[in-house]
Amino acid sequence: MPTAPTFVIVGASLAGARAAEALRAEGFDGRIVLVGEESERPYERPPLSKGVLLGNDEPSVAYVHPQEWYAEHAVELRLGVRAQRLDAGGHEVELADGDVLPYDKLLLTTGSSVRRLRVPGGDLDGVLYLRTMADSLRLKESFAAGARVVVVGAGWIGLEAAAAARTHGADVVVVEPHPTPLHAVLGPEMGNVFADLHRDHGVEFRFGQGVAEFRGAEGSVRAVVTEDGTELPADVVVVGIGIQPNTELAEAAGLAVDNGVLTDSSLQTSNPDVFAAGDVARWQSPLYGRQIRVEHWANAQDGGTAAGRSLLGGGGAYDAVPFFFTDQYDLGMEFGGDLGSGYDDVVVRGEAKAREFVAFWLRQGRVVAGMNVNVWDVQDDVQALIRSGRPVDARKLADGSTGLDSVYAG
């Protein structure tokens, strides 16, 4: 009698946990091993820069499943151990503790790691990053009232950390080389909405400036020196300058890698028995007709589920519209779409100044992305506009009394 197959998932992450869940939901009764370098069972990262960092939520809110779920679903957790070598031809993964796991199919959900700022003083105590649960708890401790916090990078992580630090009563300066926050992801028009939001909460920005060095005393950071020589006093520094996909294992195994592990639309890599999902995967998007890599929660959640089905040979194409959300102070926002190919107009429905609006990015008269700020239950309609690929009438789009299904041109 043939033995039941073994599926190994490397990366005990949101995507990895959702894939295991999908496998069991689809009736897979073989062995599932979920390998993770961190000592924690799979958890979601968004609370780490929001409720947990603010002190409003216990860290336990972040877990994807209760501990007992893994035994109940016969998902073997191998935590605190790195998968250090993949032999894709031999169908084996070698762990750092020397164990070798044979597999029939493998899923890579190794996610991404923070990009480090390599300047003098970068190793000083108090120069911190935010990726893991431990990072979040450490930061929360250092965000005391009156602490001087310098945030390097006005991306999502930097801005959420700035909001949390201000809410704790710390003084916050954000250093950013671009002229607005979120410059590359939203463009200047909507980046300014976030600049105003933070200024209104007492955050100071230093735009157009990179960091030249960190200065310290007795091993701890004391100041951030910007490229123009300004010295910003700092008790703690949060660096949020982006992430890079954890592709080492795949690359060393000879899989196709280019800013992510390359997959087809079913999340299958260049090796037919290896799949990839979440931050690490650069997948062929049917919607965009090119490979895209998405560094957001929903992509780990839905991509993980899709990969689980693909491991079983079903499920079809993974065809999500990239989606992101954030919460900063009293602003809640959802964003759908992709600005990677540029845009030529931004249309606003509602009051940008009052921070209650929907913004639409257009390219050649078609909606390529949309963001609802403190307006809810419209993201499905926004994504329907994006998917349609049809030209819209900008006046109707801006008019809140016109339904979003009635804004097409002509």
Give the whole-angstrom CA distance, residue 351 versus residue 17.
40
Joined tokens for residue 27: 């009736």
Give the whole-angstrom CA distance, residue 185 versus residue 361.
12
Shortest distance (Å) from residue 274 CB to ligand FAD: 13
The tokens 């911190």 sit on which residue? Answer: 128
Three-state SS for 202?
A: coil
User: How many residues line the site for ligand FAD (CB under 6 A)?
Assistant: 36
**Given the complex with ligand FAD, which of 143 and 226 has the nearer CB atom?**
143
Binding to ligand FAD by CB under 6 A, coded x per residue (else -) over 310-349, reads: --------------xxx-----------------------
- Which of 33, 35, 358, 359 contacts ligand FAD by CB under 6 A? 35
**Given the complex with ligand FAD, which of 38 and 302 has the nearer CB atom?**
38
Shortest distance (Å) from residue 323 CB to ligand FAD: 7
**Given the complex with ligand FAD, which of 36 and 370 has the nearer CB atom?**
36
Residue 285: strand pairing partners? 290
Report the DSSP pairing between strands 366-373 and 356-363: antiparallel
- Which of 10, 154, 250, 368 contacts ligand FAD by CB under 6 A? 10
Report the DSSP pairing between strands 290-293 and 211-217: unpaired
What is the secondary structure of 251-299 as a DSSP string? HHTT--BSSSEEE-TT-B-SSTTEEE-GGGEEEEETTTTEEEE--SHHH
Check binding of 155 to ligand FAD (CB under 6 A).
no
Check binding of 21 to ligand FAD (CB under 6 A).
no
Contact 258, 251 (CB under 8 A): no
Instruction: State which residue has the least CB distance to ligand FAD.
Output: 111
| Side chain identity at residue 222, one-letter code | R
Shortest distance (Å) from residue 215 CB to ligand FAD: 27
Check binding of 111 to ligand FAD (CB under 6 A).
yes
**Given the complex with ligand FAD, which of 46 and 121 has the nearer CB atom?**
46
CB within 8 A of 287, min separation 6: which ones? 319, 321, 386, 387
Shortest distance (Å) from residue 339 CB to ligand FAD: 15
- Which of 23, 48, 133, 306 contacts ligand FAD by CB under 6 A? 48
**Given the complex with ligand FAD, which of 32 and 397 has the nearer CB atom?**
32
Give the whole-angstrom CA distance, residue 300 versus residue 295.
8
- Residues found near ligand FAD in the complex (CB under 6 A): 10-15, 35-38, 45-46, 48-49, 82-83, 109-112, 130-131, 157, 246, 249, 278-280, 295-298, 300, 324-326
